[in-house]
Chains A and B, each alone.
Chain A
């Protein structure tokens, strides 16, 4: 079921275009990741979705409620942890959560038990009587998180939830976010790739306020299939091997890598087509009786895709790249449909 729909969102700050015609949909029960370099428009988009700032154009619909037309109903579905946790430093943790609960209009009889549960969840039980200004950054972040989870809203939006935490805390918070998936839909933003690929079910890559790619982390890597390279170590005479490889039509580019042993030739083959060239290479080498010592295929990692997509290039090049990825995705989907039809 569709929980959030963002249509043609545009946000201008003076002449600067922070969000450029952004559209996407969020479905229930998944963890979504906004990925993008600094200034890509992640926080701005989140602030618009939660109704903190208004968009220049476009609309945001949460669970059927437009954020501008029915703000209170729409905001009731959202728990938000902004980049800087919105904490009142001169309150204790308990006072703060009580205020948050009242602000979210949680019924009085449920309030106490819910606060206990949430404090248990983010592990802040032992600091509940302390003033927030005396807490460490990690604990402050958790208090902010507790505030967002309080009231169990359907959609929880977290803006860079692990920034400034130590590695152990990062892992804890990630596990916590994964745990939220059972009951909630989560959107989180990050510029850390490993985090997104570890936690999220679906990645939306933003660059310069535009959506450049959106898919599961695995599919995103698969999408870049065309760029796959094959690295090989073959024993035999150099000329013989090179001419044999050259005769293969599917190989687009051959690159020789300096080899450690003299009798072994190291090669990197690139093919742009979707087909697998491993078998072909194997038979060819068998034909000329040159044993393959090592062969492995390297796919583009999420990191490569990210860099590729968000790199600052000429706008046309950028646009071409974007189209390339989108087309590939469509093609793939069509193929899948065909396959499914075949199964039936």
Chain B
């Protein structure tokens, strides 16, 4: 793992990519910092951070698009995968290098509250809680980007895919408000999702019988639950979609609250995405 971590970190810091990423975050944070804290003299730095979370939509694909896809295309993954290291340590090495680059920009950002303190009283605790949340949020987004980069061989597809998925997560709050709270709506939404899942299963294992069986059994179960106790479905789709609503988990941090559930949520996202990345690399060996 140290070998890959060092190589990746060096790769980011000797090419444009890492600097572009840091530049992008600092640029946007700087504009908002000037507007909110310097010009309007607003004492809360965490407000700046919660305003610039959209920066990840562009910055994350820049950094993650080539992390797995490039190795596959250049066939350098043959060297990594035939070396005496596990797939897990390859993926973790790469991911840790990523969040180290990101840490550089966050460290620079953490000087901003100190600058503000020159001109008045500010709450360090809430400001640094906000920065911690911002860091974790970015790490979670980066983990998603790493996973999506491992699914494809093309950098462009990886970048677009990452942007779309991150965008969907970003507007998840709005999407879930499209649905009414009624049980029937949730039931319908889950039925559609189940059919989609059955298609995905068919696409992955090419076994029509199994996919149809899973789909049918699922639909029957949904139907039973709906008729026996339809109250379960009230607001169910909203709570399901809120799983993907990464930004709302950040809102507590941006209000200056050290939210343990939020930390657990972000760490879970990271672990799940890294796990999926490892699986997707391992799976490719069997194709």
| Chain A interface (Cβ < 8 Å from any Cβ of B) | 13, 47, 50-54, 71-73, 75-76, 78, 80, 82, 84, 86-90, 95, 99-100, 102-105, 147
Q: Which residues of B are found within 8 Å of A84, using beta-carbon distances? A: 75
Known interface pairs A72-B84, A75-B84; A80-B3 also in contact (CB < 8 Å): no
Interface residues of B in 259-287 (CB under 8 A from A): 285-287
Say how far A145's CB is from chain B's closest CB, in angstroms: 13
Q: Does B82 contact A (CB under 8 A)?
A: yes
B3 touches A103 (CB 8 A): yes
Q: With A and B bound together, what is the CA distance between A147 and B76 in angstroms?
A: 12
Known interface pairs A80-B78, A86-B76, A90-B14; A75-B7 also in contact (CB < 8 Å): no
Q: Which residues of A are found within 8 Å of B287, using beta-carbon distances? A: 13
Q: Does B205 contact A (CB under 8 A)?
A: no
Q: Does B207 contact A (CB under 8 A)?
A: no
Q: With A and B bound together, what is the CA distance between A86 and B82 in angstroms?
A: 11
Interface centre among B14, B79, B81 (most CB of A within 10 A): B79
Q: Which 8 A-B pairs have the closest CB atoms?
A: A102-B3, A86-B79, A50-B82, A76-B84, A75-B84, A86-B76, A103-B83, A54-B285
Q: With A and B bound together, what is the CA distance between A84 and B76 in angstroms?
A: 9
| Residue of chain B at shortest CB distance from A102 | B3
Say how far B231's CB is from chain A's closest CB, in angstroms: 48
Say how far B15's CB is from chain A's closest CB, in angstroms: 7
Known interface pairs A100-B79, A102-B2; A86-B74 also in contact (CB < 8 Å): yes
Say how far A93's CB is from chain B's closest CB, in angstroms: 15
Q: Does B188 contact A (CB under 8 A)?
A: no
A52-B82, A71-B84, A147-B79 given; name 8 further pairs at CB < 8 Å: A47-B78, A75-B83, A86-B75, A86-B77, A86-B79, A88-B11, A90-B11, A103-B83
| Residue of chain B at shortest CB distance from A77 | B84
Q: Which residues of B are found within 8 Å of A80, using beta-carbon distances? A: 78-79, 82
Q: Which residues of A are found within 8 Å of B182, using beta-carbon distances? A: none
Contact with A along B1-19 (1 / 0, CB 8 A): 0111011001100110000
Which of these, A51, A87, A147, contacts B81 with CB under 8 Å?
A51
Known interface pairs A90-B11, A102-B3; A78-B82 also in contact (CB < 8 Å): yes
Say how far B154's CB is from chain A's closest CB, in angstroms: 18
Known interface pairs A86-B75, A87-B76, A147-B79; A72-B3 also in contact (CB < 8 Å): no
| Chain B interface (Cβ < 8 Å from any Cβ of A) | 2-4, 6-7, 10-11, 14-15, 74-86, 285-287
Q: With A and B bound together, what is the CA distance between A261 and B14 in angstroms?
A: 78
Q: Which residues of B are found within 8 Å of A90, using beta-carbon distances? A: 11, 14-15
Show 9 residue pairs from A and B whose CB-CB distance is below 8 angstroms, ordered by the A residue. Answer: A52-B81, A78-B82, A80-B82, A82-B75, A84-B75, A95-B10, A103-B79, A103-B80, A105-B85
Q: With A and B bound together, what is the CA distance between A82 and B75 in angstroms?
A: 9
Say how far A56's CB is from chain B's closest CB, in angstroms: 8
A104 touches B83 (CB 8 A): yes
Say how far A140's CB is from chain B's closest CB, in angstroms: 12
Interface centre among B10, B74, B75, B84 (most CB of A within 10 A): B84
Q: Which residues of A are found within 8 Å of B82, using beta-carbon distances? A: 50-52, 75, 78, 80
A105 touches B84 (CB 8 A): yes
Which of these, A78, A87, A88, A99, contacts B3 with CB under 8 Å?
A99
Q: With A and B bound together, what is the CA distance between A80 and B83 in angstroms?
A: 9
Q: With A and B bound together, what is the CA distance between A54 and B286 in angstroms?
A: 5
Say how far B158's CB is from chain A's closest CB, in angstroms: 19
Q: With A and B bound together, what is the CA distance between A108 and B81 in angstroms?
A: 22
Q: With A and B bound together, what is the CA distance between A90 and B285 in angstroms?
A: 27
Say how far B74's CB is from chain A's closest CB, in angstroms: 7
Q: With A and B bound together, what is the CA distance between A51 and B14 in angstroms?
A: 31
Q: Which residues of A are found within 8 Å of B4, using beta-carbon distances? A: 103
Q: With A and B bound together, what is the CA distance between A103 and B83 in angstroms?
A: 7
| Residue of chain B at shortest CB distance from A76 | B84
| Residue of chain A at shortest CB distance from B15 | A90
Q: With A and B bound together, what is the CA distance between A78 and B78 in angstroms?
A: 13
A86 touches B78 (CB 8 A): yes
| Residue of chain A at shortest CB distance from B82 | A50
B78 touches A82 (CB 8 A): yes
Q: Which residues of A are found within 8 Å of B11, using beta-carbon distances? A: 88, 90
Interface centre among B4, B76, B82, B85 (most CB of A within 10 A): B82
Q: Which residues of B are found within 8 Å of A99, using beta-carbon distances? A: 3, 6-7
Q: Which residues of A are found within 8 Å of B7, using beta-carbon distances? A: 88, 99
Say how far A147's CB is from chain B's closest CB, in angstroms: 7
Q: Which residues of B are found within 8 Å of A47, using beta-carbon distances? A: 78
